């Protein structure tokens, strides 16, 4: 197990507002075992990772993929909308009106 995974396991537990004792009990492991996971002293099984993700209400990929954490969905959407707005700004006023009309129609479910 990596130090990144250990750090993310601990952060997820803290974000879920659970003590080590509460989390360990819910996971069916000892608090000593959980401490060893969080301190990168013991390898964690895939089953334990999945159980922690479920308990902490997080995506298991956050425990193992550094780039997943760095670029969460919000960041990806922000980048996409930023690109959209740059293109939108280049349109003529008439074209902007058309785009806004289409978006409104789409929201209303008419197209």
Q: What does the pLDDT profile of the chain (111 residues) look like in tens digits?
A: 688 999 999 999 999 999 999 999 999 999 999 999 999 999 999 999 999 999 999 888 888 887 665 566 676 667 677 777 888 888 899 999 998 998 889 888 887
- For CATH 1.10.260.40, the residue range(s) in the chain are 3-70
Residue 29 has a CB neighbour count (10 Å cut-off) of 17
pTM of the full structure: 0.60
Provide CATH code, domain 3-70.
Answer: 1.10.260.40
CB 11 within 8 A of CB 63: no
pLDDT at 58: 87
Helix residue spans in the chain (DSSP H): 3-15, 20-27, 31-38, 46-56, 61-64, 66-70, 73-89, 93-108
- State whether residue 17 is helix, strand or coil: coil
């Amino acid at each position: 197990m990596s130090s990144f995974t250990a750090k993310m396991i601990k952060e997820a537990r803290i974000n879920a507002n659970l003590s080590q004792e509460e989390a360990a009990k819910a996971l069916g492991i000892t608090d000593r075992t959980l401490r060893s996971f969080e301190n990168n002293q013991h390898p964690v099984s895939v089953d334990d990772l999945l159980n922690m993700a479920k308990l902490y209400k997080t995506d298991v990929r956050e425990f193992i993929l550094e780039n997943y954490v760095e670029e969460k969905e919000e960041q990806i959407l922000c980048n996409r909308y930023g690109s959209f707005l740059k293109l939108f700004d280049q349109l003529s006023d008439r074209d902007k009106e058309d785009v806004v009309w289409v978006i409104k129609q789409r929201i209303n479910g008419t197209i």
